[in-house]
Structures are given as structure tokens and as C-alpha cells.
Chains A and B, each alone.
Chain A
Amino acid sequence: GAVVSQHPSWVICKSGTSVKIECRSLDFQATTMFWYRQFPKQSLMLMATSNEGSKATYEQGVEKDKFLINHASLTLSTLTVTSAHPEDSSFYICSARDTRVTSYNEQFFGPGTRLTVL
């Protein structure tokens, strides 16, 4: 199957700083990327959907000014957590799909990024 990578795999930062997480599709073009967040012992929660070259669509309750998403190319999307606070500590997972494929196609997930805000 196709590969989605994330960088970094884990990050520790001080409260008030901003953190950028990269998500790359390695062997396919991801016209659409998704960002999820997962707290301990909970399921994945979809944060936003981004299409290449356009603004992201955020799910209800997700602050777009706090979680900045950029999807400037068909293989790269970034999530920036601005002014991070301890409550933003979580496991962030990206996912990607080539929505130009007219037949059914899978959605592939990255390995996740563990963010700890001190």
C-alpha cells in the first residue's frame, strides 16, 4: 500500500511556542489530506480536511487560528499548532487520499506525531 510519513514522530515544547508537523505522501499524489487528533484511550477525532491549493475545512469546535493547515503541494501538508498549551498535548495523525481517482481508493494514514507541551 501507499506510504504516508509524518515528521517529527514526537516533539516536546514549552507552553506558548508553535509547533509544525509535516505530513508527506511518499508514492502517490494526495489531493486531499486529513488531520486527526487522538487523546489517550480515545478514538481519533477529525480536525480538518484540506485540499491541495485551497483552504482547509475545519470540523466544528476546532479553532482554525490555532491549528493552521497548509496543503501547498500534492505531497505535503503541514499542521502548525500555534501558541501551544498543555491541553494541546495529544497524538496527531494525518491521512491522505488521491480523490482524483474515480474508482474506489483507500485512505492512508501516517504513523502519528506525539506532541507534549510542558
Chain B
Amino acid sequence: DAKTTQPNSMESNEEEPVHLPCNHSTISGTDYIHWYRQLPSQGPEYVIHGLTSNVNNRMASLAIAEDRKSSTLILHRATLRDAAVYYCILRDAEGNKLVFGAGTILRVKS
């Protein structure tokens, strides 16, 4: 599985947008970009995924660079409940495994 690189941690103010970056320069043409988040003492929660086009859902938006070597998860208005570890993971459509990296610890200040 191709590797992703994320900042160790980020901080945001409540009610403000958050942009979480992810670099994946070795991404292959069939790799989907996934984002999961994990709250303390819980299992990971699916956030969003995409292949080439930008994606929106009720939780977040995913902006994918034209060359697909990077992507950004956008939380439009951060809340205290969004404080979690956010993981950016690549997996191809047929691949089975989701391999987690270190992720980004997002802290949200009130």
C-alpha cells in the first residue's frame, strides 16, 4: 500500500474551518483516498473517501489535487466533538487492507 504523510498535530478554534493535509506522492491510479477518524477509546469512524474528484458529505469535504499526490480534508466548522486523530489512508478498489499511519491529532479549542 502506498504511504501517506500527515502532520503530527494541528490545532483549531471552535466554529472555524480546519484543513487537514495529506501527502501521498506514490499514489497509484487505482488507489482510493480514505479518511477515518478515531476518538479516544473508540474504533475508527469513516469520514470520507475519493478517487479523483472533490467529494462532499455531511461530515466533511475532501479536496484532491489534480495530480492526486496530495489531498485535504476540510471540516467546515470545527466543534469540540471533532477533536480526534484523523487518518489518511490509501487503498485500491480491490485491495483488502487498510493500513493506518500515525495520523494527525486534531485539537479544538473553545
Residues of A within 8 A of B (CB): 1, 4, 6, 32, 34, 36, 43-46, 49, 91, 93, 95, 97, 99, 104, 106-112, 114
Contact = CB atoms under 8 A, between A and B. Distances in A.
Contacts of B102: 43
Contact of A91 (B41, B45, B100, B101): B41
B96 A97 contact: yes
Contacts of B44: 44, 93, 95, 109
Which has the most chain A C-beta neighbours within 10 Å: B32, B36, B44? B44
B99 A46 contact: yes
B41 A99 contact: no
A34 B97 contact: yes
Nearest to A32: B96
8 contacts: A34-B98, A43-B85, A43-B101, A44-B100, A46-B99, A46-B100, A112-B42, A114-B41
Contacts of A4: 43
Interface residues of B, number: 21
Contacts of A43: 85, 87, 100-103
Main secondary structure of the interface of B (DSSP, over half): loop
B43 to A, nearest CB: 4
B49 A112 contact: no
Contacts of A1: 46
B61 to A, nearest CB: 18
Nearest to A112: B43
B6 to A, nearest CB: 11
Interface string B30-43: 00100010100111
